Amino acid sequence: MKGVYFIIFLCFFKVAISEKDVKETCIIQYLKEQGRLDEDFPSPTKAVESCAMIIPFILPIMKDRFATKMSEITSECFSTQLKTDGLVDYLMKEEIFENLTEFSAQEVKKELADTRQMIEGILNYAAEVCESEISNKVIHDKYLIIKNETRAITRYCLSKFVIDAGIIDAGNLDINPSNIDTTKIECESGLNAVRINAEKLVKKEYKEQNIPQRRINCALREYRRNKMFENSIAMGALQNLDMSPEIKKRNEENIQANVESFSRGIIGCFMRK
């Protein structure tokens, strides 16, 4: 029975992609793998396998938003150059340093300055290489717009997803307080990719426990029936929604009820002969 509860705990909390520390840990792990951060750079939490599912969500959102804002710049040279130089990686690195609490203000200021200098260099080099197709000013103007909207877009997508799925009841709450243009935002494709990866992770965890396939199939049915993927996102999305304590508590209780239903169902899967 102890093993059953361990699996329930593991599978549920490893797919909570909105939890701040886990997201930061995964971005830091990714940046280290890409050589954008030193190996000894501290992480909020220990690296987890679920990073393999979180990063595919974060990258498409940033890249898609970047592509949308740069759509007026019809330059294949420009797009290729920015991809080659890893601009999106440095945009994520900039966001990490903007939210750091582990370092002194002086250390953060220095790291931010270095990162922004790198971003500036990438943009300037792209403008120089693609000089015949684009101006430096247009590039920098577009970059500033992207930087200001990225965080708001991520929060909007996560909030919209769990509200549309019926996990969170937000009433008439405005989930777009930054008033971003939502007509050009594609949230669904990134989240669908994460959903697929999340189920792969759940299957992997069960198989590593040498669970028979019929029990794995039963557990996955309970996982889907109780919308555990959606509930894991809802836990984090709640923290970003400006709702009253009473409404937030009611939503938290609903999520907890779904978790308990999943727990009962999955125990049943493991108790059957």
222 has a pLDDT exceeding 80:
yes
CB atoms within 10 A of CB 206: 21
Residue numbers of the domain that contains 211: 2-271
CB atoms within 10 A of CB 129: 16
d(CA 107, CA 90): 17
257 has a pLDDT exceeding 80:
yes
230 has a pLDDT exceeding 80:
yes
Q: What is the pLDDT of residue 139?
A: 61
Q: Distance of CA 134 to CAs 67, 69, 71, 80, 146, Å?
A: 15, 15, 12, 13, 18
Q: How many domains does the chain have?
A: 1
CB atoms within 10 A of CB 126: 24
20 has a pLDDT exceeding 60:
no
Report yes or no: 18 and 158 within 8 Å, Cβ to Cβ.
yes
Helix H or strand E segment including 76: helix 76-85
Of the candidates 169, 146, 186, the one whose C-alpha atom is nearest the C-alpha of residue 249 is: 169
Reported as a single tens digit per residue, the pLDDT across 148-207 is 566 677 778 888 888 888 889 888 888 888 787 888 777 777 677 777 777 777 777 777
d(CA 66, CA 78): 12
* Per-chain mean pLDDT for the chain: 74
d(CA 188, CA 198): 15
**Rounded to an integer, what is the distance from CA 70 to the centroid of its chain?**
22
Q: What is the pLDDT of residue 273?
A: 64
- pTM comes to 0.52
Three-state SS at 86: coil
What's the half-sphere exposure (Cβ side, CA atoms, 13 Å) at 126? 28
Q: Which residue has the higher pLDDT, 145 or 255?
A: 255
